[in-house]
Structure 1
Amino acid sequence: MDIAASSIWSAIWAAVWVFMAAKQHLTKVNQKKLVGLSKEEENVVYETQRGTKEWEKVVCHGRALIKKKELRELALDKKRSNELRLEGPCGLVLDWSRHQVTSETMRLLGDWAKARGLEEFLNDWSSGKIVNPSESRAALHQRLRAPAGETPSEVSAVRDIILRFAEDVRSGRYSTALNSRFESVIIVGIGGSRLGPEVAVRALQLNSDSSNLQIRFLSALDGFHDVVQGLNPHTTLVVISSKSFTTIETTANAARVRNWLATSGLDQDGIRRHTVACTAQINFQSDAYAAVFRFWDTVGGRYSVTGSPGLLPLALACGADAASRFLAGSRQMDLHLFNNEEQNLGEKRLPVVMALLAVYNARILGLRSGRCIVPYSSRLALLPAHLQQLEMESLGKPGGLDSTIQHILFGAPGTDAQHSFFQLLHQSPIPLPTDFIGCLRPPTDEIDDWVQWDIMLANLLAQPDALALGVTNSKLDFYFPGGRPSLTIMLPALDPTTLGALMTLYEHRTVILGYLLSINPFDQPGVELGKRLANTLSRYLSTGTFDEFPSPPQTSAPTLEDLSQSWTPATSWMLKRYNSIRPSMLRQTSQIPLHSTPATDSEK
């Protein structure tokens, strides 16, 4: 063997050794994570070995199917198409016939999910057992939409109070400090306290029993002027929504809006009458608020659209009846998942089908880069942003069953998206699975709306076929490879009931996918370091001292607190540059409320 060949083989064996050592190290790390957990908690999130034999059957079947039939051939099979379509709660129809699967694939995936313990997990989750072991919590957002008598009395009591308050504001029974009607509402919140609620308000306000209330959302630290433009503080109600009331963006914006009310001439009693809060803080100081609407620490921010952060804005914008119908649609999707008597998990439960398809696409077809969401409704323009937080924050974590899967999600409403990133969907080297979401009815029954809806629906139906079938005619100037998986969700119409069901469908898909991949979908530890460092930098800004920057601690095991007290020379340079243009009065004292102890319970 010559020297070159010997070197190559040495490099290969070295790489193999490094890989095996790394694998062994990760196994030890994962085992250490289990220390201190009960057996019940361990099985809920961290178990990765269950279902190995069943997965081998999925792998063998999937590989054979890939060799035997291309997606374009499968998609043209009428019998198969009928088998891969399911009508769920509230008339939602899920069609996944443009995936490279058959009914046998779904049966095998369902067997794998059962062997993984999914049924037991769903029972544990719905019954209130701990399914968030890192924070030792249950996940009880599904109880927020259960009817009175099937949910704790305090949950239904808060819900009734919210709906009554919203109707009092809309009718004028609850009036301003000057005894006039409220004309506008500012919702101050971020993350789950803004994205889901704003999706619901924007989607439903057009067809609601309008009270002529303007609803605006304030989350960005530089968004104040845009939000208050044209509003009269004397006729504006402010809703401050924060799970912990320690999130810097929300507390800073809340202080800004309260100051806006004060400078308009309202006294402290007037400001109090114009301000309400939604929070999970039990010992919350409520003296400064006209009302405080509670939600619970067992409800994550990104899952709280049916709690007070989402229910109050929706009820104010669209009325108590619309908000109740939204809850009813969400509840129907809960019952579809938890009370379904079908034996095979991979065939009759919409959220499970969607989660299993995601696993199959990634682990069998190798489509690990992410996916795309395209709602064919401008009223659902913010849905991709909400789903980004829901899925990327829930699943974007290391470890689990397959750490190579990238839970990256992007999207935009069609047909606008067709003129931006659809080029990538059709011809990129790596296919991106896509969810198409549409409605059978236009926003109104005006003839012009129906005429334009014909065009909208034609585009919605054309794109999945184009992605699946492609064109292989070599005489064409362009080559459309096809074979790109997508699913279609069709709503009978966009109304409170169907929207509640749709948003809950994606909540459940996220949780189920997390369980199947051994990822805890209820925590978000990755955001903590950045928040802590931002708080440290804010304190340095208040002193104006930037000549020296702290170096990272010289230790093999720095703590999170150590790392949050140091930064790079590049950051130090930019801080000094920024400080040179700040108003001189701010170089000694900061007007931004700071928190030396960052929030341990984020808005996520």
Structure 2
Amino acid sequence: MSSNPASENPNSIFCAADIVLDSAYQGIDAKGWQALFAQARKANLQQFIADLFAGKHLNTSEDRPALHSALRNLDQKPVLVDGKDVMPAVANVWQRIEALCNKWEGVTDVIHIGIGGSDFGPRLAIEALAHVPGIETRGMRMHFLANIDTAELGRILQRALPHSTRIIIVSKSFTTVETTKNAKAVVRWLKDSGLTSSQINNALFAVTAAVPAAKAFGVKEENIYPFWDWVGGRYSVWSAVGLPIALQYGFESFKAFLAGAQAIDQHYQSAPLEENLPVIMALALLYQQEQHDIKSFAVIPYADALDGFPKWLQQLDMESNGKRVDRNGMPVKFSCPVVFGSSGSNAQHSFFQLLHQGTEVIPIDFIAIREPMSHLPEAKEHHRILLSNCLAQAQALANGKKTANPNNTYPGKRPSNLLILPKLNAFYLGALLALYENRATTLGALWNINSFDQPGVELGKVLAKPIEAALKDSVSVAADANIDAITARRINLFNS
């Protein structure tokens, strides 16, 4: 990166779905970009993109497609999974969501129970869209219950009104321990609050790929909204998992959310690699890995409404691409860096010291919104200050500052992107999420990693079962095949 990084690549501004990407501060010159695009072609990236949208079984370990894009295929062009068009089933769910929105009356509270991909997406959308000036809303209290820690459950049950509460249980398998335990606790609360069995049945809804399991739990069939095994949890907000978006902000807002994502999908499929936003963002991060061996990546949305975005991205990136072996079982040189971040300008008063003067080079995506997020008299002035901080931080990180005092010297050459959204609404929120989804799958293709499975999360779940049994019995335990000596000692600390 030179003293004037932007001069190295004047063609650094790109656009898709009215979202602008400026990659000038990546410090990649024209020759470097040419090499990166050649690398992408060598990895058959364009064929990978075509196969992804065509329903090929790119999730090789589970022998499934990864077709979350079909969930936002509003044109309903046929999408085949093993020769069968899935769009009629997807469209049927849209119709059922719209019908539910039209008859969803008298509800004061919604408790959405799910964890991981069943939680992050809808939680982010509900919180982000709540900041949109003038957005139409039903004004319900949307509660998101994910943690098995009863502190979260307790806070929700203190506020919710049981006779006008609806419960949405979201679990692909309907066996997730945190979700099923929390759901049973909420059902017990409804019973203790005097609701009849019939009233409880009417209050329960489910979103799952395991319809029989939901029915066995007690959810009426007409209250079960399916999604499919070709939808990964972290890619599922576009399905009925996003039901809270439609219920709170209306079905048209949910459609706009899908339309924004579809617009990015269409760009991703059709744009040349040299103009393709997800591809450019992926290649920029790959370049920083190869040049600086970067281990972490920060995303800083200069919008309080998007404060939850880094948490959503953490799951998307690190669960998708946090792998040590490639599709062939061979060790990889690079995979997903650690993802972190929070909203600017709060982040400047937290960890920006490390970004500017730490020993590690950490690439950053700055996200800015052109329009203020309120109609307050101070909105324009405050927004101008917010944007000036965003632009100034990127400039300072890139160019640095040399002084005679090492403590006041900024090394610079810290790469960043700038993404600019025209405004924040359902459409552009959907576009932003789809942009990063497609960036994640692009990185997976470049690293030859399967971005659609997550075997690493399973071992701890298996080991938790005998440990939970030992804690339940409250007796002294010894190490065995399932519990090692250190864990046995720790169990005994809790049981003593």
Would the TM-score normalized by the shorter structure come out above 0.5? yes
Q: How does 1:61-80 map to 2 (within 5 A)?
A: 70-75=1-6, 77=7
Of 140, 148, 153 in structure 1, the residue corresponding to residue 88 of structure 2 is: 153
Q: Do residues 292 (structure 1) and 227 (structure 2) align? A: no
Give structure 1 regions of 4+ aligned residues with deviation exceeding 4 angstroms: none
Superposed displacement of residue 120, structure 1: 1.0
Q: For residues 391 and 9 of structure 2, what CA distance do their matches in structure 1 show?
A: 15
2:29 is matched with which residue? 102
1:250 is matched with which residue? 179
2:260 is matched with which residue? 329
Superposed displacement of residue 111, structure 1: 1.9
Superposed displacement of residue 105, structure 1: 2.3
Of 357, 362, 367 in structure 2, the residue corresponding to residue 427 of structure 1 is: 357
Residues 539/477 of structure 1: CA separation in 2 closer, same or farther (3 Å cut)? closer
Q: How does 1:548-587 map to 2 (within 5 A)?
A: 548-550=478-480, 552=481, 566-580=482-496
Q: Do residues 438 (structure 1) and 368 (structure 2) align? A: yes
Residues 224/567 of structure 1: CA separation in 2 closer, same or farther (3 Å cut)? same
Give the aligned residue type for 1:99: Q
Q: For residues 2 and 311 of structure 2, what CA distance do their matches in structure 1 show?
A: 30
1:84 is matched with which residue? 12
Q: For residues 463 and 506 of structure 1, what CA distance do their matches in structure 2 show?
A: 22
Q: How does 1:422-571 map to 2 (within 5 A)?
A: 422-474=352-404, 478-550=408-480, 552=481, 566-571=482-487
Cα displacement string for residues 162-197 of structure 1 (whole angstroms, at most 9, x for unaligned residues): 12213321xx2xxxxxxxx11011100000000111
- Contact in 2 for aligned 1:367/1:432 (Cα 8 Å): no
Give the aligned residue type for 2:231: V
1:27 is matched with which residue? none
Give the aligned residue type for 1:216: H
TM-score by length of 1: 0.77
Q: For residues 218 and 352 of structure 1, what CA distance do their matches in structure 2 show?
A: 35
2:123 is matched with which residue? 198
Of 381, 390, 395 in structure 1, the residue corresponding to residue 316 of structure 2 is: 390
- Contact in 2 for aligned 1:205/1:317 (Cα 8 Å): no
TM-score by length of 2: 0.93
Superposed displacement of residue 404, structure 1: 4.6
Q: For residues 347 and 264 of structure 2, what CA distance do their matches in structure 1 show?
A: 28
Q: For residues 71 and 209 of structure 2, what CA distance do their matches in structure 1 show?
A: 14
Q: For residues 260 and 407 of structure 2, what CA distance do their matches in structure 1 show?
A: 48
- Contact in 2 for aligned 1:326/1:499 (Cα 8 Å): yes
- Contact in 2 for aligned 1:185/1:214 (Cα 8 Å): yes
Of 168, 175, 178 in structure 1, the residue corresponding to residue 103 of structure 2 is: 168
Q: Which moved further from structure 2: 477-486 or 392-401?
A: 392-401
2:239 is matched with which residue? 307
Q: For residues 469 and 407 of structure 2, what CA distance do their matches in structure 1 show?
A: 60
Superposed displacement of residue 476, structure 1: 7.5
Q: For residues 133 and 212 of structure 1, what CA distance do their matches in structure 2 show?
A: 43
Residues 147/406 of structure 1: CA separation in 2 closer, same or farther (3 Å cut)? closer
1:117 is matched with which residue? 44
Give the gaps of 5 or more residues in structure 2: 79-86
1:39 is matched with which residue? none
The CA RMSD measured in Å over matched residues stands at 1.6
Cα displacement string for residues 443-474 of structure 1 (whole angstroms, at most 9, x for unaligned residues): 13333111211111111111100000100132
Give the aligned residue type for 1:315: A
Superposed displacement of residue 283, structure 1: 3.1
Q: How does 1:263-282 map to 2 (within 5 A)?
A: 263-282=192-211
Cα displacement string for residues 337-382 of structure 1 (whole angstroms, at most 9, x for unaligned residues): 1133x3xx1x21100001111111101x123211111111111111
Of 274, 279, 282 in structure 2, the residue corresponding to residue 355 of structure 1 is: 282
Give the aligned residue type for 1:205: A
Give the gaps of 5 or more residues in structure 1: 1-69, 173-180, 553-565, 581-604
Q: Secondary structure in 2 aligned to 1:135?
A: coil
Q: For residues 472 and 407 of structure 2, what CA distance do their matches in structure 1 show?
A: 61
Q: For residues 536 and 131 of structure 1, what CA distance do their matches in structure 2 show?
A: 35
Residues 416/501 of structure 1: CA separation in 2 closer, same or farther (3 Å cut)? same
Superposed displacement of residue 148, structure 1: 5.0
Q: Do residues 261 (structure 1) and 187 (structure 2) align? A: no
Residues 516/262 of structure 1: CA separation in 2 closer, same or farther (3 Å cut)? same
Cα displacement string for residues 561-587 of structure 1 (whole angstroms, at most 9, x for unaligned residues): xxxxx222332233233234xxxxxxx
- Contact in 2 for aligned 1:362/1:405 (Cα 8 Å): no
Q: Determine which structure has more spread, i.e. the larger CA radius of gyration.
A: 1
Q: For residues 194 and 577 of structure 1, what CA distance do their matches in structure 2 show?
A: 33
Residues 433/378 of structure 1: CA separation in 2 closer, same or farther (3 Å cut)? same
Give the aligned residue type for 1:157: N
- Contact in 2 for aligned 1:369/1:405 (Cα 8 Å): no
Superposed displacement of residue 243, structure 1: 0.5
